[in-house]
Structure 1
């Protein structure tokens, strides 16, 4: 029986444009996002450096870009949050059939921007639909590392076999599967979180 659902945020609830940074890099005098910059982003996502340090490091890599340009581009990957998804998660929470948790790789620039973009009231309607709202930069852990899944399981007394995890990134769902968690690797543009209940039935029938 599934008793707990852990959900990703980006491209599960809020739509993303993950390519916007790569489109802007040539305008900043660069041609690629290096291995070192990927590592920098991962450090930022676990709260290892401040937003100011993160932006300064990107400015060092791309001297033609101003701090404001970098911040604007970084936040431009956050698109719309369809109302039907908000209504869906609120209704699911009100049914009180499952314990709901959010687990997102994100950063200290994105979350205030999301709140501003959605509006404070809608943002807190969303946040309050979850028992726990785990953001990587606040808990200093990120997917797909096993430690982040173990942290959520341990802190909330969850059993893997009673837990269902939804994420748009296969690497993340594969990591959760290795721990015995049921998963749905949501295919962006082909599937929607609104199909969650049917996916839960599929998981139960195949277990």
Structure 2
């Protein structure tokens, strides 16, 4: 990669392992049918976009799951457990790696996230790694539910660029979703599609000349 001064990282399946299939199976067990159109990596029910942009509350999301499962008796815990089941975890090496990349570039995190997942992740980081949040690992960490925006829409990239006075031509965006990569390209960012697992992040960055 040439003339890179800034790196924007996605979170899920770049730094942190997630598996959509586990959540698909969990939702099916709750009674949700037609799971491929309801929730998948490349497309899903509007319910998930609305949660990720903070347009609906966790309580409203859970009500939507009960409706989709045709089961008003589902508890909040059952729904949260199914939803959080896709969250696998990360490794200490990736946190060390992020600090190393931060020494060389201005670095940012840009994640489509939501309140239910965010709370689980923060608790996981505290209990597993004694980390309170990602403030020390990036110049700034951006989460869709706080921004009221989500990838791949160009306005979320434009906000990060504007707030941090970034030159898109000197800024690399790394994500595992092709549709998010396309959104980033529209605003002039350089891009890399992450095809390896998060455990191979170091090798991926070395292969592409970032380290």
Report the structure, 1 or 2, having the larger strand content: 2
Deviation at 1:61, TM superposition (A): 1.8
Q: Which structure 2 residue ranges, 5 or more long, are not aligned?
A: none
1:84 aligns with 2:93: yes
Deviation at 1:129, TM superposition (A): 1.2
1:122 to 1:177, Cα distance in 2 relative to 1, 3 A: farther
Q: The residue matched to 1:192 in structure 2 has which SS?
A: helix
Paired with 1:32 and 1:155, the residues of 2 have a C-alpha distance of 41
Q: How does 1:115-154 map to 2 (within 5 A)?
A: 115-119=122-126, 122-124=130-132, 126-154=134-162
Worse-superposed segment, 176-185 or 8-17: 176-185
* TM-score calculated relative to the size of structure 2: 0.86
Paired with 1:66 and 1:15, the residues of 2 have a C-alpha distance of 26
Paired with 1:139 and 1:100, the residues of 2 have a C-alpha distance of 18
1:146 to 1:200, Cα distance in 2 relative to 1, 3 A: farther
Q: Which residue of 2 aligns with 1:99?
A: 106
* TM-score calculated relative to the size of structure 1: 0.88
Worse-superposed segment, 73-82 or 98-107: 73-82
Paired with 1:30 and 1:125, the residues of 2 have a C-alpha distance of 33
Deviation at 1:127, TM superposition (A): 3.2
Worse-superposed segment, 29-38 or 13-22: 29-38
How much is the aligned-residue C-alpha RMSD, in angstroms? 2.2
Q: The residue matched to 2:108 in structure 1 has which SS?
A: strand
Paired with 1:86 and 1:122, the residues of 2 have a C-alpha distance of 12
Q: The residue matched to 2:96 in structure 1 has which SS?
A: helix
Q: Which residue of 2 aligns with 1:168?
A: 176
Paired with 2:198 and 2:165, the residues of 1 have a C-alpha distance of 33
Q: Which structure 1 residue ranges, 5 or more long, are not aligned?
A: 203-207
Displaced runs of 4 or more, over 4 A: 34-37
